[in-house]
Amino acid sequence: MIPKDHPRYESLVTREKLVEGVRRGITALEGLIAHGRGEAFDYILGERTREFALKAEKVAVAMMLLAKNPVISVNGNTAVLVPKEIGELAEIVNARVEVNVFHYSRERVNRIADHLLKFGVSALCAGDAELEGLSSARRIVDRRGIFIADVVLVPLEDGDRCEILKRHGKKVIAIDLNPLSRTARMADVTIVDNVIRAIPKMVEFARELRDLSRDELESIVSNYDNRTTLAEAIEGIKEYLESAKRII
């Protein structure tokens, strides 16, 4: 039991969710390592949603609202961290949710889908199609989901799949706390924010933007430059470290 008044309560609860996810065979062990790397980046970003992330989150939501077949790809980490919020976002932007994992087993995919269902999220996971050009298990997709998607939201992704999704003509929105990762650099829109803050924020944006016209949504998306966002994220880290130096 983590005491509520612990100064790092949120962070400890998040860790506990992932550890529990591993115990239940939902999250991959490697997911804990990946989360540790994410935590380190979150720390030097100030553990809050920064302006560059807010901008990317808004553009991402507008892109999903404009899409014909938007899909939210869910892996073992995302499934335990933000299952309810994934369902909310999918509903508002009218996206399909698909289970897609790097460390593949049919049993784990089914467990993730069952877990999501407990939160009212019915996820695709047939694994009846393959993304050509990708050798990892992430190539295994659903014919009704990622296979035909025009916009894919990929929280905690690996660069290889991001590249292949793009080669298949899809727009990719990544959520990755590491602005230097290959995924961050490959995506069309990179949200440098913790998935536990990013998805709820995207739900808020979705509520705000859902009734806008296509022209209005397009004006949000046009002129967006992901390289600027990544440069701002790196500047954000520098700023935070400079300010931290003053309080030491």
Nearer to ligand PTJ, 40 or 231 (CB): 40
Instruction: Give the whole-angstrom CA distance, residue 196 versus residue 211.
Output: 25
Closest separation in Å from C-beta 201 to ligand PTJ: 12
Instruction: Name the nearest CA neighbour of 180 among 33, 35, 30, 37.
Output: 37
Residue 193, C-beta contacts closer than 8 angstroms, at least 6 positions apart:
49, 50, 53, 56, 57, 175, 177, 201
Nearer to ligand PTJ, 35 or 171 (CB): 35
Footprint of ligand PTJ on 123-182 (CB under 6 A): 156, 158, 175-178, 181
Residues 66/218, Cβ–Cβ less than 8 Å? yes
Does 30 interact with ligand PTJ (rule: CB under 6 A)? yes
Closest separation in Å from C-beta 243 to ligand PTJ: 22
Does 75 interact with ligand PTJ (rule: CB under 6 A)? yes
Closest separation in Å from C-beta 81 to ligand PTJ: 6
Instruction: Give the whole-angstrom CA distance, residue 144 versus residue 127.
Output: 10
Closest separation in Å from C-beta 139 to ligand PTJ: 13
| Residue with token string 């506990």 | 16
Nearer to ligand PTJ, 35 or 170 (CB): 35
Give SS3 for 175.
Answer: strand
Residues 2/13, Cβ–Cβ less than 8 Å? yes
Does 28 interact with ligand PTJ (rule: CB under 6 A)? yes
Could you list the residues that contact ligand PTJ (CB under 6 A)?
28, 30-31, 34-35, 37-38, 41, 75-77, 101-103, 156, 158, 175-178, 181, 194-196
